[in-house]
Structure 1
Amino acid sequence: MVFAVLVVCVVWQVVSRFILGQPSTVTDEMARFMFMWIGLIGAAYTLGQRRHLAIDLLTGSLVGRTKQLSDLFITLAIAVFAITIMLYGGYNLVAKTLSTGQVSPALRIPMGYVYAAIPFSGAVILFYCVEFAIGLINGTGTGPNDKPVEDAAE
């Protein structure tokens, strides 16, 4: 649904700019903010589905305990990034912009709400990392770079 609204906003932006000669600042800003939310939440979801872009040239040839340790290290590295940059840094950004009262020029919404996509998606990424780590430690799961079991035949 959000993606459909984003497409409508972009189409209207093009029509208003090039056909009507009066660009719409509201749809321009709305499209940018929705794109941020869709992109960040989509990245977290894609990680959880193990469908994100991964360079597995080195890890693809590993097997057994070495692969499990490599997958655990990768999962921990992703979790550290999610905690330090997305959760900690994103929370500080949201708190700072909300405390200063910064609002968007056209929509007049607090920019902290827009930036809240960063810590939100960081929390989702951290959730998936914890899930992956538990599975790797228990020996029941796979790492973030492995396809889910039902997709392994593809």
Structure 2
Amino acid sequence: MKVRKTVDQTIAFVTCTMLAFMVLTAVWQVFTRYVLNSPSTVSEEILRYSLIWVSMLGASYAFGKKKHIAIELLAEKLPKNKALALSIMIETLILLFAMLVMVIGGSRIVALTMAQSSASLGLPMGYIYLSLPVSGVLIIGYSLMTIYEAAFKKKTNLYADHLDTASNSGIEG
């Protein structure tokens, strides 16, 4: 799907850019501490909050690429129509979790923490916690795309695409 590819590329670009920024910030932190003998007061906080965002966006990306942990034993033993139903049910449960816990719960945390400021940066803490509902929305989008693929394109092998490639090339895995 073109939408999935665009979302994947956007998340990959944002997380890679943030990671490069984090490396530069860490180098700056080490330089100021050991060379200038005057440690940066904001770099540690920048790194901590950037790591939260990179982790949450990275988790969404991994979910969208189906590179997360999945137990496929039951789905592999079922006939195709039942495996499709199971895939749709699992994606629906994930969608509900992302909606209730990540988006709704995360939005409540964001609202509660907007009045709190971080120690060094003075940044509202709600912006840090915003990573939870943002990644929840991304996971919901990926779940909807996966449900669409399962329901309308009858794609059952949702998690083990790499296994098909390995078995077709004669590689045992």
Range class of TM-score, shorter chain? 0.7 to 0.9
Partner SS for 1:58 = helix
Report deviation, 1:16: 4.3
One-letter amino acid of the counterpart of residue 125, structure 2? M
Partner SS for 2:165 = coil
Q: Pick closer, same or farther for the CA change 1:62–1:8 going to 2, 3 Å.
A: farther
Is 1:116 paired with 2:133? no
Distance in structure 1 (CA, Å) of the matches to 2:37 and 2:77: 57
Is 1:37 paired with 2:48? no
Report deviation, 1:139: 3.5
List alignment gaps of at least 5 residues for structure 1: none
Alignment-derived partner of residue 71 in structure 1: 87
Q: Pick closer, same or farther for the CA change 1:14–1:107 going to 2, 3 Å.
A: same
Partner SS for 1:145 = coil
Alignment-derived partner of residue 44 in structure 2: 28
State the TM-score, normalized to the length of structure 1: 0.83
Alignment-derived partner of residue 11 in structure 2: none
Identical aligned residues as a percent: 33
Partner SS for 1:51 = coil
Q: Pick closer, same or farther for the CA change 1:140–1:68 going to 2, 3 Å.
A: closer
Is 1:90 paired with 2:102? no
**What's the Cα RMSD here?**
2.3
Decide which moves more: 26-35 or 4-13.
Answer: 4-13
Distance in structure 1 (CA, Å) of the matches to 2:25 and 2:91: 37
Alignment-derived partner of residue 153 in structure 1: 165
2:150 aligns with one of 128, 133, 136: 136
